[in-house]
Amino acid sequence: MFKIGDVAQRLALNPQTLYFYERIGLIPAPQRTEAGYRLFSQQDVDRLAFITRAKSLGLSLDEIRSILALKDGKSLTCQDVHDRLVSKLDQIETQIQQLQRLHDELRPLIQECRSNFDPAHPDKVCIVLENYPAPL
C-alpha cells in the first residue's frame, strides 16, 4: 500500500490532482488508515498511471472516464480504443488546421509591424490591427 505522497511522487503528480481524480470518480476512494490517511493499492497506482498516460496523449478527463468505464465493465475492446483514438486524432487534425490558418493570418501582420517599426520612434502608435479586415 502506498501513501498519497509516494503515489504523487512516483507518477509526478500533485497530491491535489489525486484528490481531484477521487472527487470526480476517476479513481475509487482508496482505503484509509485509522488516522484517515489514504492508502493506494498497486491497482490504484496502475489506474492513475493509465490516466496520466492518457492525458499525455491529449485525451480529456471525460474521454478517459469513458474508457475506464468500459475497462471496469470488462467490455473494453480494441475496437473501442481504436474508435476513440481515431476520433481524438480527427479533433487534433482539425485543431492543427485551425492553428495553421491563424499562423497564416498572423505572419503578414508581424511582417507589416516590422516594416512599420521605426527604431527612431519606438513609441509610434501601431495601426496594423486597425487596417486589418474584420472576419466575414
Per-residue pLDDT of the chain (136 residues; tens, 9 = 90+): 999 999 999 999 999 999 999 999 999 999 998 898 999 999 999 999 999 999 998 899 999 998 898 888 888 788 988 998 899 999 999 999 999 999 999 998 888 888 877 788 778 787 777 766 666 5
> Which residues have C-beta within 8 Å of that of residue 130, sequence separation ≥ 6?
none
DSSP letter string, 46-77: HHHHHHHHHHHTT--HHHHHHHHHHHHTT---
Q: What confidence score (pLDDT) does residue 136 get?
A: 54
Distance, in Å, from the CA atom of 69 to the CA atom of 65, rounded to the nearest integer, reads 6
Distance, in Å, from the CA atom of 108 to the CA atom of 2, rounded to the nearest integer, reads 55
HSE toward the beta carbon, residue 110, CA cutoff 13 A: 6
- Helices 42-56 and 15-23 sit at what angle, rounded to 10 degrees? 100
